[in-house]
Chain A
């Protein structure tokens, strides 16, 4: 079967949607290669189809068997989650990559654990800043006999008679908000770098790469 102009146009449309979907999360080089391969698949499938009365019906069947372009792009996302994490920095792919990498070795496990701890600490600091105006007597920096012990919320607050005091006042709101945001940004930056390093190391260990 040879494609007419309308058939070619349908193929270009499919590939356009596919490429747009891929480029939102994959490196351009990988996306271009994937589009080229899917186009090669379509051309092969068309060539293997004999002469048919209705070219567009036959083409639709080929594209239907291939799958909707967005679904095929999603399958790439599932397989290449680390590429997606490094390229886009989206939280979902980053967390999925960290979970995946944590299972690959001891160093990777502790690296991923440290990064999750960074995210959790950042969120905890922001939670303290948010809770302070709501529970002013329960949230702050807690001192025991003048020594800072913890920062956060205590319900009920410990008795001042036992040497506990709370310090910081409302100044902790901007302070902890700033620390929390800084921790989240830094942790996320490190997470992307970490994922990039893991990817690069895997590529060095496996020199037979896509050409």
Chain B
């Protein structure tokens, strides 16, 4: 049961984490995954990040572009669009408000972890 809950949390926050990862500038798939792995344990398994990137690009939150001359083989680079940046700002605001409330609730319950 706890695993299901953790999985839902992971799914719910992965999109925001991906948008945060590409917010400083364009990155390609493995670069995004390695960055996420450095800071989180959200990527399990690695291959599931690509469908999310495809969907975010299709929905207009990211641009995706194949670039052939910046590595030993062509790589697909992702970059935030203006609508992606707006979505990320909204997500960060909502997330901070949400975690702030849960944090206060935990403190009120004496679970200051």
Contacts and interface: CB of A to CB of B under 8 A. Distances in A.
B59 A202 contact: yes
Contacts of B83: 206
A84 to B, nearest CB: 11
A169 to B, nearest CB: 54
20 contacts: A33-B54, A36-B66, A36-B76, A37-B76, A40-B73, A41-B29, A41-B46, A44-B28, A71-B47, A71-B48, A72-B45, A75-B48, A75-B50, A75-B52, A76-B51, A80-B54, A205-B60, A206-B60, A207-B60, A209-B60
B50 A37 contact: yes
A80 B47 CA distance: 15
* Top 6 closest pairs, chain A to chain B, by CB: A206-B60, A67-B45, A72-B47, A67-B47, A79-B51, A75-B48
Among A33, A48, A209, A210, chain B packs the most CB atoms within 10 A around the CB of: A210
Interface of A: 30, 33-34, 36-38, 40-41, 43-45, 47-48, 64-67, 71-72, 75-76, 78-80, 202-203, 205-211
B58 A209 contact: yes
A72 B58 contact: no
B62 interface: yes
A65 B45 contact: yes
A40 B76 contact: yes
A80 to B, nearest CB: 6
B48 A44 contact: no
Given A40-B75, A41-B46, A210 B30 contact: no
Given A37-B29, A78-B51, A206-B59, A43 B73 contact: yes
Interface residues of B, number: 30
Nearest to A44: B30
Nearest to B57: A210
Contact of B81 (A65, A79, A208, A211): A208
Given A65-B45, A67-B46, A79-B55, A41 B30 contact: yes
A150 B79 CA distance: 58
Given A40-B75, A72-B48, A208-B81, A45 B62 contact: no
